[in-house]
Amino acid sequence: MRFGMLKGLLAVVLIAFAGNTSAHHSQGMFVETPVWVTGIIVRYRPADPHAMIELREPQPGGADRKWIIEGPRRGRLELILQDNGGIRADQILKVGDRISVCGFALRKDWDPKRMYADWPPEQDRFVHGRVLVMPDGRLQSWGPYGAIDNCVRKSDAARLRR
């Protein structure tokens, strides 16, 4: 009897964690070569599972390109906000801000639509943002994925807020 209850409990625990495991991801999902994007924020959501930014990158003589930038999970975002003087999540970034992002694209075998159906990217325009260049020009460490050294040049080091 006791063994049966233990098996049942174990099954419930495994099922509960299975949803979280498949919804979350790791460093291995992203390529190692950084992508730099500059654009205007048209949508920003500072919520779980990750903060999300939609950028419009102006194109000379053509339509803007849409980028989806994944950011930190809520706990990491709260630490970033504390490091910025305890500001609110809607104060660090706003719709209309012009920012630059250094991030890492998903490997070809990962589809962001299965993670973020409500944030559909255009083809190959989904990156996990590692470093943001804020509207005031300072650098802000943003997400945890990707080597920060690949995004920050030696001349940038003094402007980086971790």
Complete DSSP assignment for 41-71: EEEEE--SS--EEEEEEEETTEEEEEEEEE-
Q: CA–CA separation, 48 vs 104, rounded Å?
A: 20
The domain containing residue 98 runs over which residues?
A: 27-161
The count of structural domains within the chain is 1
**Statement: the pTM of the whole predicted model exceeds 0.95:** no
Residue 159: the pLDDT is 62
pLDDT recorded at residue 23:
42
Residue 11 is assigned to a structural domain of this protein: no
Let me know if residue 13 belongs to a domain.
no
The tens digit of pLDDT for each residue in 89-141 reads 989 999 999 999 999 988 777 666 666 777 777 778 889 999 999 999 989 99
Residue 18 lies in a domain: no
3 domain-assigned:
no
Query: Could you read off the pLDDT of 27-62 as tens digits, one per residue?
Result: 567 788 899 999 999 999 998 789 999 999 999 988
Q: How confident is the model at residue 87 (pLDDT cuts 50, 70, 90)?
A: very high
Q: What CATH number has the domain bearing residue 70?
A: 2.40.50.140
State percent of the chain over pLDDT 90: 46
Contact call for residues 31 and 108 (beta carbons, < 8 A): no
pLDDT at 15 over 50: no
**Could you tell me if residue 117 is inside a domain?**
yes
Q: Would you say residue 81 lies in a domain? A: yes
* Assigned domain for 48 exists: yes
pLDDT for position 147: 82
Given CA atoms 37, 41, 47, 48 in this order, what sign does their dihedral have? Answer: negative
> Looking at the domain assignment, is residue 15 inside a domain?
no
> What percent of the chain clears pLDDT 70, i.e. is strictly above it?
73
pLDDT over 60 at 9, yes or no: no
